[in-house]
């Protein structure tokens, strides 16, 4: 069976994000997938990239360079346990689902911290092995998130600009950079401002999409997809 890692960032299990995560676990498990969830708030995941991420001596104790130190630590198996644990989950997964509410045009800090700390050089990328030759190629990713603003606000002519512009740093700058192929995002617009009925429809639509998810083609990972 296929393996799925859901990286989930919401403080409240009863939220729509919590329900979307639950639906994904149920639906994918029904398909025979083995599903792992990294519930970042429940884990009290540390979002800050610090010296604590390296166990033992530093490569250069004179001047701390996080990128260099984590790369060296990764090579010698000297990263902190929480990072080794998350990297193992990523390594085993065929599909990564990121479930979160959009904060300030981006992912919540705790999830960005997961990206900063887990996807280190040597593990996820190693120049020139990036983008199509990134070290996590053969994996898929899907960003599933809720917004505060309506769909109209995030349209091309809308006040917030095309939602695809916001996806460029997340999908292209992080996932595609690491070689991951990206499925079209799943966006629930303004759930706080719609009826209970509409929110239920959002969950049904997500469950429906998950039924045929493995047949989907990844998006065209080029600037045109985002900015055309």
- pLDDT tens readout for residues 97-138: 999 999 999 999 999 999 999 999 999 999 999 999 999 999
pLDDT in tens, 17-41: 999 999 999 999 999 999 999 999 9
Contact at 8 Å (CB) between 102 and 186?
A: no
Contacts of 69 (CB under 8 A, 6+ apart): 51, 53, 54, 58, 59, 60
pTM: 0.97
Helix, strand, or coil (residue 4): strand
Share of the chain above pLDDT 70, in %: 100
Residue 206, pLDDT > 90, answer yes
Whole-number pLDDT of residue 191: 96
Q: Which is nearest to 66 in space by CA: 115, 120, 124?
A: 120
**What's the rounded mean pLDDT across residues 197-212?**
98
Please state whether 54 falls in left (phi above 0), alpha (psi between -120 and 50) or beta. Answer: beta
Whole-number pLDDT of residue 55: 97
**What's the rounded mean pLDDT across residues 65-72?**
98
Whole-number pLDDT of residue 21: 98
Residue 228, pLDDT > 90, answer no
* Dihedral sign computed on CA atoms, order 10, 14, 15, 17: positive
How far is it, in rounded angstroms, from Cα 40 to Cα 126? 26
Both tokens of residue 36? 């792992």
**Domains and their CATH numbers in the chain:** 3-227 (3.40.50.360)
**What's the rounded mean pLDDT across residues 63-79?**
98
Average pLDDT, the chain: 97
How far is it, in rounded angstroms, from Cα 187 to Cα 181? 18
Alpha carbon of 50 to those of 125, 130, 185: distances in Å?
20, 24, 31
**What's the rounded mean pLDDT across residues 84-99?**
98
Residue 176, pLDDT > 90, answer yes
Residue 155, pLDDT > 90, answer yes
Residue 56, pLDDT > 90, answer yes
């Amino acid at each position: 069976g296929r393996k799925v890692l859901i990286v989930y960032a919401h403080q409240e299990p009863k939220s729509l994000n919590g329900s979307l995560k639950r639906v994904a676990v149920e639906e994918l498990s029904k398909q025979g997938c083995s599903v792992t969830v990294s519930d970042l708030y429940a884990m009290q995941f540390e979002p800050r990239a610090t010296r604590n991420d390296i166990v033992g001596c530093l490569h250069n104790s004179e001047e701390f360079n996080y990128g260099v130190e984590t790369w060296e630590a990764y090579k010698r198996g000297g990263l902190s346990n929480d990072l080794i644990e998350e990297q193992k989950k990523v390594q085993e997964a065929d599909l990564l689902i990121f479930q979160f509410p959009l904060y300030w045009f981006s992912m919540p800090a705790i999830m960005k911290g997961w990206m900063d700390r887990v996807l280190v050089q040597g593990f996820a990328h190693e120049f020139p092995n990036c983008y199509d030759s990134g070290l996590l190629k053969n994996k898929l990713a899907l960003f599933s998130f809720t917004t505060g603003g309506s769909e109209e606000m995030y349209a091309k002519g809308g006040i917030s600009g095309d939602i695809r512009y916001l996806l460029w740093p997340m999908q292209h700058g992080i996932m595609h950079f690491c070689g991951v192929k990206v499925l079209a995002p799943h966006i629930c617009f303004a759930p706080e401002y719609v009826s209970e009925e509409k929110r239920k429809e959002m969950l049904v639509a997500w469950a429906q999409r998950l039924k045929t998810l493995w047949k989907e083609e990844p998006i065209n990972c080029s600037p045109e997809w985002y900015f055309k």
